[in-house]
Structure 1
């Protein structure tokens, strides 16, 4: 029974580490229901990690012989090492990201002018709008984005970034960044991070659409595009979004165009 349970946990861990993430990345319904899809991704990551550790624990406790032997001990040691590795990477990743974000918030406070509502405006011609998340977030835009967008589309961009700040979306993406760091040899870990980052952008798009309109958000996305400001170290998709210099929909990345299409 012990060995059967260990084998079952190992199978679940394998399925949740490879084929299930690949299927989720390819699924179309996730773009229609990003909140539910994020919940499912979180469950996949949590259950997958617990199953891998559980398989080793069950193998360590299994009565493999007449007496407890070295294989049992090795399995329990591996379980402890895996647990320590995963939690350690999660903790160090969170500390590193918050440290980098704190430095960026300090720099923005020094370089940008303050506007109403805690908005920070940088004197820069490139259209750029992003959120520096955290307990005391900063919504940052440039003079370029103010010049590039009409008032209703600028309001949609600001609503999008405020949704990131209020929803603490960096806390959603950060565990997947840690998973990718802990398992860099596992391609689904990279795809999971990118998928969850895109889903939190869709959540923010939906919040902005509720504050303005879906067509307004789609027009703003098509005009300003999406990306990351140079040197930004925050988790992928937690807020930094910037306009390309041209901002045309024809040159926008495929993920951005998918977001525009779901809004129209």
Structure 2
């Protein structure tokens, strides 16, 4: 089996079976940031494996064009043990086709991802600017109050960024609850969670047929909400945050470009905050996630090394 075939097999298996495994080991969000790392490692690994396989195929095809005696062209590239003698024009046609197809697919997917990412960034920046224009400033940095009958609190990235709190939310939240909710939103902005999700959503839009990329944005968004919960709970306690989430839950969803304290997987997050996992469970979860991350990195490396020989 050639290097390209090994990388393609790894990418295919990870693309279709990876989401099931990752969802199983990260769904509880015991160590949310490590769970995010596991998803990102898998996604980068798959994209890297696909890209590397295309490069190897193109280089092998180009090498065949430069040889005076052309053999083992197509099936040898894909791992065939024997040799298939071809006339030079046939081999040249296959080589050019492989190279052209690889470049065309890369260009199409790259442009689609870049276009989606630009749209998401523009929408987010415009929303943040609109919130600053329409809302009234508050003593809290980057926080603006917008008059609305529905209680909501969310943040949007931009230049500059903004945290939006509706007047109904301001009236319904106690001081400690509001502080916890704002800490949650600050955690999103400080961690640059919006930018990460934009990239994942753009990749999913560019390659919608890959289940791993399709599942990535929602899974990572859920874990990032849990990570922001942990940050807010460390500063203000779990109880104020739970009460703040309860006051905001059930309201209309926040804008697509935003991250809200009571927007994603609220029941699971509330249960997680109300009954934190014991220390032993947290350590076992860390070991499981680090094992998954290590295997995700090691498998394509060893596959390439073994196939090369």
Query: Do these two structures clear the TM 0.5 threshold for a shared fold by scoring above it?
Result: yes
Aligned to 1:138: 162
Equivalent residue number for residue 35 of structure 1:
33
**1:256 and 2:266 matched:** yes
- Aligned partner of 1:83 among 88, 106, 115: 106
Paired residue for 1:216, among 240, 251, 257? 240
Residue 253 of structure 2 is aligned to residue 228 of structure 1: yes
Would you say 1:174 and 2:187 are equivalent positions?
no
Show the counterpart of 2:279: none
Cα deviation for residue 30 of structure 1 reads: 5.8
1:135 Cα offset (Å)? 4.0
How is 1:76-225 mapped onto 2 (pairs within 5 angstroms)? Answer: 76-116=99-139, 117-225=141-249
Q: Distance in 2 between matches of 1:175 and 1:113?
A: 31
Is the CA contact 2:124–2:156 (under 8 Å) kept in the aligned structure 1?
A: yes
| CA distance in 2 between partners of 1:147 and 1:208 (Å) | 20
Q: Is the 8 A contact 1:127 1:242 kept in 2?
A: no
CA drift at 1:168: 1.2
Give yes or no for contact 1:132–1:139 (8 Å, CA) kept in 2.
yes
List, as ranges, runs of 4+ consecutive aligned residues in structure 1 with deviation greater than 4 Å. Answer: none
**CA-CA distance at 1:174 after TM superposition:** 1.5
| Residues 204-229 of structure 1: CA deviation (Å, up to 9, x unaligned) | 11111111012322232233127633
CA gap of 1:39–1:28, structure 2 versus 1, over 3 A, is: closer
What count of residue pairs does the alignment treat as equivalent? 247
Residue 24 of structure 2 is matched in structure 1 by 26
CA distance in 1, matches of 2:26, 2:177: 27
Tell me how far 1:60 sits from its aligned partner.
2.9
Residues 130 and 240 in structure 1, CA contact (< 8 A), matched pair in contact too? yes
Structure 2 distance, partners of 1:24, 1:122, is: 39
User: Secondary structure of the equivalent of 1:131?
Assistant: strand
> Cα RMSD between the aligned structures?
2.2
**Structure 2 CA distance for partners of 1:72 and 1:50, relative to 1, 3 Å:** farther
Partner Cα distance (1:60, 1:108) in 2:
49
Contact between 1:57 and 1:75, CA under 8 Å: does it hold in 2? no
CA distance in 2, matches of 1:29, 1:94: 27
Distance in 2, Cα, partners of 1:187 & 1:10: 15
The answer to whether structure 1 residue 12 and structure 2 residue 10 are counterparts is: yes
Where relative contact order (Cα < 8 A, 6+ residues apart) is larger, the structure is 2
Contact 1:120 1:140 in 2 (8 A): yes
Distance across 1 between alignment mates of 2:27 and 2:261: 24
In structure 2, list runs of 5 or more residues that go unmatched: 65-71, 74-84, 275-309
2:242–2:270 contact (8 Å) kept in structure 1:
yes
Say which one has the larger Rg: 2
* 1:247 aligned partner: none
- Aligned counterparts of 2:192 and 2:26: Cα–Cα separation in 1: 25
- Tell me if structure 2 keeps the 8 A contact 1:132–1:240: no
In structure 2, C-alpha distance between the alignment counterparts of 1:135 and 1:36, rounded to whole Å: 29
1:167 CA displacement: 1.4
- Measure how far apart 1:242 and its partner are: 5.2
Is the 8 Å Cα contact of residues 125 and 161 (structure 2) preserved in structure 1? no
Q: How far apart are the structure 1 equivalents of 2:32 and 2:262?
A: 22
Q: What TM-score, normalized to structure 2?
A: 0.73
